[in-house]
Amino acid sequence: MLKVTKLARSPSFHSPQSTQGPPSFPGLVFTPGTTQLTAKDILHWLQASKARCTVASEEVIPAVESIVSECPGLKTKFLLSPHSQNRWLSFQELFQTTSAEHSCVETGIQEPMAIYFASGTTGSPKMVQHSQSSLRIGYTLCGSSIIQPLTTYPITTLCSAPTVYWMLVLKDLKRCKFKKLPHCLMGGEPLNPEVLEQWKVQTGLMLYEGYGQTGIICANQKGQEIKPGSVVKAFVVLSAPFKSSNPEKLTLELQDHVKKSTAPYKYPRKVEFVKELPKMITGKIKRNVLRDHEWG
């Protein structure tokens, strides 16, 4: 789905990931989102971004319509579908009747280009802005397009998502000779152990796991084992009425509840029932203790 809001002097555009590409329309800031977002998720995104426009595919129309009355700033709705919908403009029809001629507008490299929402692990998803330069670098360095600069220029560090490394190992990198590449980092999503092994076999280089946020950058130490990608796990403390419930049945009920309450992909694949959660004296949950418990 797509959204457009005012950010600085530019309006922002909320869009489905299926239509996402490296857009560069003057005055538009794209906010891509998966079609698995629930009405609750969409409401938060539209209100937080103050979107003026949304471009959505047919399957999410009911969710958007159910909350649109709570988004007075949303003035325009585009539909990506061959079918018509009341109060929605047809993106295809407008695109076909629009002139191919246009005047290019110069855009500064630091001007906003897209806004992504974080996963919302510890609260409501927060907005993360990308500039014209930062987002284009991400789109340029993917798949086979990254091999040429690595073999031509003395690039010393490659940092990308595991998906990019997966695309690269499919190219049979044994035939490639990198100019100067001692450091390879990945992060942002679970790592397939086969990709880790193939990268080492084909390039002779170790792949390290990194993590970065504003003001924080860290990575695993040299020689430290990279653990296979983890899945979402929930530690649950049962209230008195549910202590005698069937654990397997209750696990399925909890998973179904999460799938209906938020985007389905966020549901916990593993659920463990515990007597209590480890907490600090302030009441904050000791997540490091839970992680240690999970990893054994």
* 69-126 per-position pLDDT tens digit: 999 999 999 998 888 889 999 988 888 888 878 777 777 878 888 888 877 666 778 8
In a domain, 122, yes or no: yes
- Is 131 in the same domain as 146? no
Dump pLDDT digits (tens) for 113-159: 888 887 766 677 888 888 877 655 544 444 556 788 888 878 888 88
- Is 207 in the same domain as 247? no
At 163, which amino acid appears?
T
In a domain, 226, yes or no: no
- Is 7 in the same domain as 77? yes
- Is 177 in the same domain as 204? yes
Look at residues 101, 136, 171 and tell me which one is the last residue of a structural domain: 136
**pLDDT at 225 exceeding the cut of 80:** no
In a domain, 121, yes or no: yes
Long-range contacts of 26-29 (CB under 8 A, 24+ apart): 26/105, 26/107, 28/4, 29/4, 29/5, 29/112, 29/113, 29/114, 29/115
Look at residues 103, 136, 169 and tell me which one is the last residue of a structural domain: 136
Q: Do strands 51-57 and 127-131 pair parallel, antiparallel, or not at all (unpaired)?
A: unpaired
- Is 84 in the same domain as 161? no
Domain CATH code at residue 261: 3.30.300.30
Query: Which structural domain, as residue segments, surrounds residue 182?
Result: 141-219
In whole angstroms, give the CA distance from residue 207 to residue 182: 10
Which residue, among 40, 24, 30, 38, has the nearest Cα to 4 in the 3D structure?
30
% of the chain beyond a pLDDT of 70: 76
Distances (CA, A) of 7 to 33, 177, 208, 293: 18, 44, 36, 43
- Is 146 in the same domain as 126? no
Q: What is the pLDDT of residue 230?
A: 54
- Is 105 in the same domain as 147? no
Look at residues 136, 169, 204 and tell me which one is the last residue of a structural domain: 136
Higher pLDDT, 214 or 112: 112
In a domain, 225, yes or no: no
- Tell me the whole-structure pTM to 2 decimals: 0.54
Q: What is the pLDDT of residue 24?
A: 45
Of the pLDDT bands very low, low, confident and very high (cuts 50, 70, 90), residue 5 is very low
> Nearest-5° angle of CA 178, CA 182, CA 185?
105
- Is 31 in the same domain as 148? no
Q: Residue range 163-172: average pLDDT?
A: 84
Mean predicted lDDT score pLDDT of the chain: 78
- Is 92 in the same domain as 151? no
**pLDDT at 216 exceeding the cut of 60:** no
**pLDDT at 14 exceeding the cut of 50:** no
Of the pLDDT bands very low, low, confident and very high (cuts 50, 70, 90), residue 19 is very low
- Is 110 in the same domain as 209? no
Strand partners of residue 127: 117
Q: What is the pLDDT of residue 224?
A: 59
Q: What is the pLDDT of residue 232?
A: 75
% of the chain beyond a pLDDT of 90: 22
Dump pLDDT digits (tens) for 247-282: 999 999 999 998 888 878 788 888 999 999 998 776
Total domains present in the chain: 3
